[in-house]
Chain A
């Protein structure tokens, strides 16, 4: 057993922290989010710092790291409130290519991802699918050597910045069948693709994606047709594992800055940190944070296990972390009093981010059910 970062991982963490402190403080972040392409400079920096290459294998232009490197990046992102489409590009996009791509597909995208020239968004959810990964109504019909895609994808995070969309589509079967789902890597500028872009509550960008008779060649299909669901399950588990670390970063910040605030804010002639009811709430915040750190690590360390074990660990972590995020966010705001609900203070932005992370790829309730079902299957 060993819970230490390697020297490289510590350096990675420090370099992100340094960048965030200098180039991505609260005001600079606000500016970047407001401007149309403020994110571009950040993305170029991510490439320079090696964040995009970190988890990719060396023969694909990467640095040969793995899930722990992603965890390091994500926790720092969580602290700095970075909301760029890192997970959809590096964890899901590159992950899908590595798992199912052929040599040509890998060559076409992986180096570009590592170099910061390719952004991928995961066009998976649909207006009525909620979080069920098997619920796919978007269709891909065979057309000569290629396919024609039709459908709508909902709340596609990062679609605004993306140049490619990783689309789940049905090539066979009924709406909720496990069989018959396929993955396509579709250029966003393909004819028939249109988006309705919008900001999200936490300052990220997303879009509704409409696919109308989008013709793609055979090279767009990732892996075998019809059998992509297990891969999608895995990619989403990996994405959730990554987001867990981001949530942990945000929780650490909420917990520590609430303590700071309570020590300095005075009412009734003393620091509000002296009121025992607030002390106990801060203790609970601390405990929830520690347990979230543990659960995030548990999920990440189990990503390489069997499908069932991986899925259970990830769902378990989503339950703990979803609940913890809600408790910590609400308590942090409450202890800040009126200041807690302002846009001006960072605390509310962390609260918004952890809340949105909970409702990304299944909230705590969804994962409690998934965990229960997986346990029943194993018994």
Chain B
């Protein structure tokens, strides 16, 4: 057992770092934590990686993965976080892609995987409904079979960035008589199909990142169903474990700790010296770093298990809980660090935007408020604890 990188791994790191430096679009530098990115901005890096064959490192090589080891993937995430790149959308690469190559037919793999890898096609996730959040299996959106089609009716909500989506993966009820989990199917729906409409939901930070999606008599060819009819819950659960592990975001948090330190160097503390020298703030930063180390080591252990052929299981709930708690703590400390300049509302400045106070201060409060979502989405942290209690501890 050891934690060192081998010479090959160091060479790999240098290669990756150089690639990012040479290829990451200059106009997108430093934009990753800003919200309100356009569709093109979101996809630009993904498309570059698609060309290089690096957009889906975690996939098996036969489907377009890179064949990297867990350590290489770790290095990859670190380097991307370090350069603050805009990560490929989780909905396509980390969620629907693995479902399709695991459960889809050969024809479905041929049809959908290339667009996911290349970043040409934008996917959104249609799981949650107004009445089915934590209790996802109670979903009501109905798909009725008519010949070679399903006719889909219902409402999805909280659909992240659905305003940009070309395709969505949806959980729908195909059998209302069966037990809730047993009557669900997994459908891929073209968002341009007649009867699909997307309505924005504004969040408390003023941003538009989620939507309601209404489905009215939407005709969906049966060959867009993944896996068997009424077996969609299997795909759903498989995908959620992938989603949860991805939410932990260790590498990004490490980068954000560095950014927070830079802010704390620039800010004046309560005693007139740099904030970073203020003992209580330093202690808080130290605690955060310690928590992050614990999470990182835990994630590495999980990765190693995965490498040994065991996919993300219920332990991914641990990564989700601690990862999001740390992300939220980071936003709290950043908010504290910027003092009075937490108050201006940058999105309220109108068209000819100017920043108030130092550049790093503007996003502090919006991000703090926005990131409360992290303990809610991907299955709330209460639900994750329930999962650990039941599935891991057997309580």
Binding site for B on A (CB under 8 A): 125, 127-132, 135, 154-155, 157, 176, 196, 198-202, 206, 208, 266-269, 272, 275, 277-278, 326, 330, 333-334, 337-338, 340-344, 348-349, 351-352, 355-356, 359-360, 363, 365-366, 368-369
Contact = CB atoms under 8 A, between A and B. Distances in A.
Contact of B280 (A125, A278, A330, A369): A369
Given A128-B268, A154-B357, A201 B365 contact: yes
Contacts of B366: 201
B95 interface: no
B267 interface: yes
A154 B270 contact: no
A243 to B, nearest CB: 13
Nearest to A369: B270
Contacts, number: 141
Nearest to A270: B135
B155 interface: no
The 10 A-B pairs with the shortest beta carbon distances in the complex, nearest first, are A348-B204, A199-B348, A343-B202, A267-B135, A155-B340, A200-B343, A130-B339, A268-B135, A199-B345, A201-B365
Nearest to A157: B343
A359 B343 contact: yes
Contacts of A272: 134
Contact of B349 (A198, A266, A340): A198
Interface stretch (B60-68, B85-93, B187-195, B375-383): B375-383
B376 A340 contact: yes
Contact of A206 (B128, B344, B375): B344
A298 B271 CA distance: 27
Nearest to B284: A365
A351 B204 contact: yes
Given A337-B376, A344-B202, A355 B368 contact: yes
Given A200-B343, A359-B339, A334 B373 contact: no
Given A132-B272, A267-B133, A198 B340 contact: no
B229 interface: no
B382 A268 contact: no
B201 A154 contact: no
B269 to A, nearest CB: 7
A180 to B, nearest CB: 16
Is chain A's binding surface mostly helix, strand, loop or mixed?
Answer: mixed
Given A130-B270, A338-B158, A356 B343 contact: yes
A340 B372 contact: yes
Nearest to A124: B340
Nearest to B204: A348
11 contacts: A130-B339, A131-B339, A132-B272, A154-B341, A199-B348, A200-B344, A200-B345, A267-B138, A334-B375, A334-B381, A341-B369
Contacts of B201: 342, 344
Q: Interface centre among A131, A176, A334, by most B CB within 10 Å?
A: A334
B203 A343 contact: yes
B235 interface: no
B268 A130 contact: yes
Interface residues of B, number: 51
A266 B373 CA distance: 20
Given A334-B376, A342-B202, 17 more contacts: A130-B267, A131-B340, A154-B340, A155-B341, A198-B349, A199-B349, A200-B343, A200-B344, A268-B134, A334-B380, A334-B382, A337-B376, A338-B373, A342-B203, A351-B204, A355-B365, A369-B271
B38 to A, nearest CB: 21
A130 B340 contact: yes
Given A128-B268, A341-B376, A344-B201, A365 B344 contact: no
Interface string B334-360: 011001111111001100001011000
Interface string B100-133: 0000000000000000000000000000100101
B370 interface: yes
B365 A132 contact: no
B385 interface: yes
A207 to B, nearest CB: 9
B339 A365 contact: no
A338 B344 contact: no
Contacts of B356: 155, 196, 198, 208
B316 interface: no
B206 interface: yes
A342 B349 CA distance: 20
Nearest to B368: A355
A341 B203 contact: yes
Nearest to A277: B382
B369 A127 contact: no
Contacts of B270: 130-132, 365-366, 369
B336 A365 contact: yes
A368 B270 CA distance: 11
A341 B269 CA distance: 31
Nearest to A206: B343
A55 B272 CA distance: 35
A368 to B, nearest CB: 8
A149 to B, nearest CB: 20
B365 A337 contact: no
A333 B372 contact: yes
B341 A341 contact: no
Nearest to A200: B343
B157 interface: yes
A337 B348 contact: no
B269 A337 contact: no
B343 A341 contact: no
A127 B368 CA distance: 21
Contacts of B354: 196
B133 A338 contact: yes
Nearest to B372: A333
Interface string B299-339: 00000000000000000000000000000000010011001
Contacts of B268: 128-130
